Amino acid sequence: MASPLEPSYTELSNKAAAHGLGHADVSEALIDCIAQSLELLADTPRSPLVSNVPGKEYFAFTRTTPRPRTSRGINEALFLDNIDEVLRTVTKIINGEVPDDPIELHEALYTAAISYPAGTDVTKDNDKKSPGTFLENFAGHLVATTFGVSPTKSVVAPTLDIEVSLPTDFVFDLGRDKSRIHLPIKASTRERVIQVWAHQRVLDGMHGVNRFRGLLVVLAETNRQTRTNSITEVCLPKQWMAYQMYIAQLHRVYYFDVPEKYRALRDQYPFLEVKPFADFFYEAVEIVRPNLAVSSSVEAAGPPPSFVGLPEDEEV
């Protein structure tokens, strides 16, 4: 039996494929898919989950007809019941208006991001693909409208004899004098996350280190245990540290629901910045700057020292 959310999801996917992320038609389809998902969830009962995540409480949406289904865990503190508020905030971001209150943005983005995945959980069996595709379209579209550029999903690798096109995650070419963006998007990182660092390594090898800024976007790392009606966070911080040290350097990791074990990686070598996705919209201008060097206090305090060198017409 098809999910009642399938028509709006299909429309979003078709618009994204036809026009590219960042297009106005995609904005309209995205808002409609989020709205229908949240309206479905508003009429769906909730049940509490036993939280094994310190400092966080979770619940799940549940349906008993036509057969029992339970959603993934929903963070109580981040999920908003006011549908209009969520849609207004997402629309503002699409239009380039960043709210003054980052908490307001964080909560609205989390609610919108988890709306379709949770709605699909309670209306369809064993659908692992469409929630991930929705999340790609959601986060990818918001980044595309922020930069004013549609992403591609491949890069050309020059070799001595031929050019090879390599499939990648979303890649944004922002033009001269700006960093390019590598944007992998995942519902969780429990499976094959090493591919993210591997793709970054390929981009670094092809174009030079720091030409592509790697920004990983993830929904959450929660795992609901059916037998115990509980929820945990599955994190592998030591593996991430090894990937960051020995494979490639990601510039940021953004979460809609940030795991504390990963947040702590910003405070220890190799200093991986893990933060809420909402932060992206407050630092997007800084991220695309190709030079993040700190300005010189000496030079700022006075005129630059004159250069004493050879006359221009004297050969060396």
Q: Are 144 and 63 in contact (CB under 8 A)?
A: no
Locate 159 and state its tokens. 């070799």
Task: Show me where the domains of the chain are located.
Answer: 5-288
Any idea which of 203-212, 218-227, 230-239, 306-315 has the lowest mean pLDDT? 306-315
> Residues 41, 46, 50, 54: is their CA dihedral positive or negative?
positive
The rounded distance, in Å, linking the Cα atoms of 43 and 59 is 15
Locate 10 and state its tokens. 């299909």
Any idea which of 145-149, 208-212, 246-250, 275-279 has the lowest mean pLDDT? 208-212
What pLDDT, on the 0 to 100 scale, is given for residue 292? 58
Confidence of residue 316 (pLDDT cuts 50, 70, 90): very low
The number of C-alpha atoms within 13 Å of 70 and in the hemisphere containing its C-beta is 18
The count of other CB atoms within 10 Å of the CB of residue 253 is 25
The rounded distance, in Å, linking the Cα atoms of 235 and 10 is 32
Tell me which amino acid residue 154 is. S
The model's pLDDT over 175-226, given as tens digits with 9 standing for 90+, comes to 988 999 999 999 999 878 999 999 999 999 888 888 899 999 999 999 999 9
Q: Which helix or strand (DSSP H or E) is residue 58 part of?
A: strand 58-63
What pLDDT, on the 0 to 100 scale, is given for residue 294? 47
Q: Which residues of 61-77 are buried (b: 16+ CB within 10 A; e: fewer)?
A: bebeeeeebbbbbbbee
The rounded distance, in Å, linking the Cα atoms of 124 and 116 is 11
The model's pLDDT over 98-111, given as tens digits with 9 standing for 90+, comes to 999 999 999 999 99
For residue 166, list its beta bridge partners: 155
- In this prediction, residues 254-260 reach a mean pLDDT of 97
The rounded distance, in Å, linking the Cα atoms of 275 and 141 is 19
φ/ψ of residue 215, rounded to 5: -120, 100
DSSP string, 114-139: HHHHHHHHTTSSS--HHHHHHHHHHH
Q: Which residues of 39-57 are buried (b: 16+ CB within 10 A; e: fewer)?
A: ebbeebeeeebebebeebe
